[in-house]
């Protein structure tokens, strides 16, 4: 079990087909329920923790399941989709068609089935008899749900290899530093780094720092416990980090913003804009 607790509450993708997403997580001791949250882009999936500079709206609550349960959205129940006989012992599953979560809101919380969805998991811990969240009495981010990594669920259009591309803002003031593992403040009194998980291990991964200012650094790690590396901004195509392999060996990335000039001297740090492009193998045989 990970020592990162609810910050490592992972959900993975078992299947993606038109109007069908099948997600699964391994049950954890002491966790009795799970909530699935989702958003249309990575910034909204992250939210806007105080001083992070991300500016996301925060994810939308989609579904809730008891540990070991398989739950479906209404459209899948109507179509009787996804109920094949298989052993899912020790796992909790969420199956949905995104059309069940479209709403007449501006902006829309989700897009069409052809668009990617960014989802996260929240745990209900039996010992605390509560959902993982920042305590209401905390001075910063009170009541904020504590969620696991952001899983990228690609759109329904598929080929032998799937291009995964998204842009966002790496959070500032996280306490992360170059050459050290990402810092996750268990009290969430400083912003958390942005933790993104791919649906399959990817190759041809390119991460670009889109900041115009060369003093705005994008910090990147390839996983919890791995050191972070800095990509300086302001250098166009040179402000990139590439990871090329024929076998697809990158499962996740962790992103944060660092500035050479202290943010206090110039006002609030807006975070670091970035773009990620990668290739993942198809989830269809």
Instruction: Kindly state the average pLDDT of the residues 154-172.
Output: 86
- Residue 188 near residue 228, CB atoms below 8 Å: no
User: pLDDT, tens digit, for every residue of 117-128?
Assistant: 999 999 999 988
Residues recorded for the chain: 285
Most confident range, picked from 123-127, 155-159, 265-269: 123-127
- The distance from CA 3 to its chain's CA centroid, rounded to whole angstroms, is 19
- What's the whole-number average pLDDT of the chain? 90
Average pLDDT over residues 194-209: 93
> What average pLDDT score do residues 29-39 get?
97
Q: What pLDDT was estimated at residue 237?
A: 65
For 217-259, write each residue's pLDDT tens digit.
999 999 999 999 999 998 766 778 887 765 568 999 999 999 7
Q: What is the pLDDT of residue 220?
A: 96
pLDDT of 2 over the 80 cut: no
Per-residue pLDDT, 6: 86
Q: Tell me what pLDDT residue 283 has.
A: 54
pLDDT value for 244:
72
Q: 265 pLDDT band (50/70/90 cuts)?
A: very low
- Give the contacts of 193 (CB within 8 A, at least 6 positions apart): 170, 171, 174, 176, 182, 183, 184, 219, 254, 255, 256
**pLDDT value, residue 100:** 96
Residue with structure tokens 């994008």? 218
Number of neighbouring beta carbons within 10 Å of residue 121 = 25
Residue 263, pLDDT above cutoff 60? no
DSSP run (H or E) holding 79:
helix 74-79
């Amino acid at each position: 079990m990970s020592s990162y607790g609810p910050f490592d509450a992972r959900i993975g993708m078992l299947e993606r087909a038109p109007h069908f997403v099948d997600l699964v997580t391994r049950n954890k001791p002491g966790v009795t329920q799970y909530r699935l949250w989702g958003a249309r882009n990575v910034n909204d999936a992250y939210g806007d923790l105080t001083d992070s500079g991300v500016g996301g709206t925060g994810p939308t609550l989609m579904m809730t399941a008891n540990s070991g349960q398989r739950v479906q959205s209404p459209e899948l129940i109507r179509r009787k989709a996804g109920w094949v006989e298989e052993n899912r012992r020790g796992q909790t599953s969420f199956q949905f068609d995104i059309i069940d979560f479209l709403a007449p809101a501006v902006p829309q919380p989700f897009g069409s089935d052809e668009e990617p969805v960014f989802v996260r998991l929240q745990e209900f811990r039996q010992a605390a008899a509560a959902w993982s969240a920042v305590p209401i009495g905390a001075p910063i981010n009170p009541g904020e749900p504590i969620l696991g990594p952001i899983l990228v669920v690609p759109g329904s259009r598929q080929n032998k290899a799937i291009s995964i591309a998204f842009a966002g803002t790496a959070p500032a003031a996280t306490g992360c530093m170059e050459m050290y593992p990402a810092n996750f403040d268990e009290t969430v009194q400083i912003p958390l780094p942005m933790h993104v998980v791919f649906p399959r291990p990817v190759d041809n991964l390119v991460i670009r720092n889109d900041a115009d200012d060369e003093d705005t650094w994008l910090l990147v790690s390839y996983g919890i416990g791995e050191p972070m590396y800095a990509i300086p901004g302001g250098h166009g195509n040179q402000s990139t980090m590439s990871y090329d392999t024929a076998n697809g060996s990158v499962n996740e990335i962790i992103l944060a913003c660092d500035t050479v000039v202290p943010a206090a001297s110039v006002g609030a740090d807006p975070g670091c804009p970035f773009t990620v492009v990668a290739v993942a193998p198809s989830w269809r045989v």
